[in-house]
Amino acid sequence: MPEFYDSTAHTQAAVAAAQPALDKEKQVDRKHVVPGPGDKERHEKARSLWDDAWRELRRSPLFWISAALLVLFVLMAAVPSLFTGADPRHADLRNHYLGSPQWSHFFQDDWFGYNGQGQSVYARTIHGARASVIVGTCVTLAVTVFGGLFGMFAGYFGGWVDALLSRLTDVFFGIPLLLGGMVLLQAFTRRTVWTVVLALAAFGWMQIARVMRGAVITQKQADFVTAARALGAGTSRILLRHILPNAIGPVIVVATIALGGYVSAEATLSYLGIGLQPPTVSWGVDISDAQNTLRDAPHVLLVPATFLSLTVLAFILLGDAVRDALDPKLR
């Protein structure tokens, strides 16, 4: 019987014989592969929001200016001995409004002159940064935590929980920050840094709560939250692992800008005689003590007022830089 030519078997045999050579050609050393433009684009898109924001911040002059000022003020608050060894409370009446500031005497006690009690304005300005920075930082942390939790629960659970918490927020919104702080501080016979922090935090959390609520409402409708819920993730995991990292950006921006406002509020309360009081060293206390000497010795008021204004400005500039970095529409 004649033998027929089996083309299928012949093809399979040829492929099997050539397979080792094909495998050898496919073994490419990845270290010698040069990424193309498309690969670089995909890598750029794969960066996280925070990596992208940090890259934008490093390019922002506002960020570096504000960061330099804030580093200076934080050093003044944390380690005042780096700038002066004088006691800010030491009074020598022989120096009562002695002369004008000695601008050429850098970092010396008489650099900014003396006040009515013969105290070094320079030393008091350096040490006064501590109270302002502590109050501003602690109030911001307190309102961010409390207001953030408040807004997170209201935005995520919705319904009657949202209605109740939102109405409570509206009630507190009707009380001005300074007025509420003044009323609450009247209940304390001894007003320290921590009582001022409590008074400002009690009436300063509402804006953070509203911003967080809006961000959570937006994020909880996203597909990745729906997928996490379908996979059986609990409420705490969804809030902490999925919603919070994506909703915290606007809160950071608002908190950074508000920090400067809390520093200003502390100085205002101290100026009115309701906040910090002597012997506590504070820019607001010094401005209050010098208000009657503006014509005869303006430097006693202008020096702490200038440092206060620069601190508030630095936090506002930092908040603007962070906002621009986190919002792609503003780039």
Give the model confidence (pLDDT) of 278-310 as tens digits: 888 999 999 998 888 878 788 889 999 999 999
- Distance between CA 243 and CA 233 in Å, rounded? 12
**Domains of the chain: which residue ranges?**
66-80+115-330
Percent of the chain scoring above 70 in pLDDT = 78
**Length in residues, the chain:** 331
Higher pLDDT among residues 206 and 100, named by residue: 206
Q: Which long-range contacts (CB under 8 A, 24 or more apart) does 284-293 make?
A: 284/132, 284/308, 285/128, 286/115, 286/121, 286/124, 286/125, 286/128, 289/115, 289/116, 290/115, 290/116, 293/97, 293/115, 293/116
Q: Are 223 and 242 in contact (CB under 8 A)?
A: no
Q: Are 261 and 312 in contact (CB under 8 A)?
A: yes
Which three-class secondary structure string do you get for 99-117? CCCCCCCCCCCCCCCECCC
| pLDDT score of 151 | 94
Question: Dmax over Cα atoms in the chain, in whole Å?
Answer: 133
Q: What is the pTM of this model?
A: 0.80
**What is residue 120's three-state secondary structure?**
strand
CATH code of 66-80+115-330, in short, is 1.10.3720.10
| pLDDT score of 30 | 42
Higher pLDDT among residues 107 and 85, named by residue: 85
DSSP state of 243: I
Q: Measuring CA to CA, which residue among 70, 115, 44 is closest to residue 304?
A: 115
What's the average model confidence in pLDDT over 88-114?
68
Q: If pLDDT is split at 50, 70 and 90, which confidence band does 209 have?
A: very high
